[in-house]
């Protein structure tokens, strides 16, 4: 499926992806969000939902990439740091995750 690259169809695709995610179908949400993010690369909301969907569907390498991009955009976002830490833990990379946990905890005070 290829989406037309208009704001209305991109927003519709984002809403459909949110509905799939909310309905417990994160893999389908991630598939839709791949195109949404491609059409709207500056959308932090789309990238965050994509990261959540990838994590929930155990696509951990791709989730890590999305979360690293979110951290790059907002290095002071504790949620992004914690989500990245959890993703790294699920990949068996506890020492790397520990650094992200420390940053997340420092950001939440």
Region 17-30: what's the mean pLDDT? 97
Q: Is residue 2 part of a domain?
A: no
What's residue 97's pLDDT?
98
pTM: 0.89
Q: Which two tokens stand for residue 17?
A: 């992806």
- Positive or negative torsion for Cα 102, 104, 105, 106: positive
What's residue 65's pLDDT?
98
Region 73-87: what's the mean pLDDT? 97
What domain range includes position 83?
7-108
Q: Is residue 37 part of a domain?
A: yes
Give the CATH number for residue 40.
1.25.40.10
* High-pLDDT (> 70) share of the chain, %: 93
Taking the C-alpha atoms of residue 35 and residue 18, their distance in angstroms, rounded to an integer, is: 14
Which secondary-structure segment (H or E) carries 55?
helix 44-56
Q: Total domain count for the chain? A: 1
pLDDT at 5 exceeding the cut of 90: no
C-alpha dist (Å) from residue 93 to 57, 58, 84? 19, 15, 11
């Amino acid at each position: 499926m290829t989406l037309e690259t208009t704001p209305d169809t991109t927003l519709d695709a984002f809403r459909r992806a949110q509905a799939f995610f909310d309905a417990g179908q994160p893999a389908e949400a991630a598939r839709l969000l791949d195109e949404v993010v491609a059409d709207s690369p500056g959308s932090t909301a789309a990238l965050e939902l994509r990261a959540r969907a990838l994590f929930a569907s155990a696509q951990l390498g791709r989730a890590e990439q999305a979360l690293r991009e979110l951290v790059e955009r907002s290095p002071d976002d504790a949620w992004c740091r914690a989500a990245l830490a959890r993703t790294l833990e699920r990949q068996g990379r506890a020492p790397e995750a520990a650094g992200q946990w420390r940053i997340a905890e420092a950001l939440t005070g």
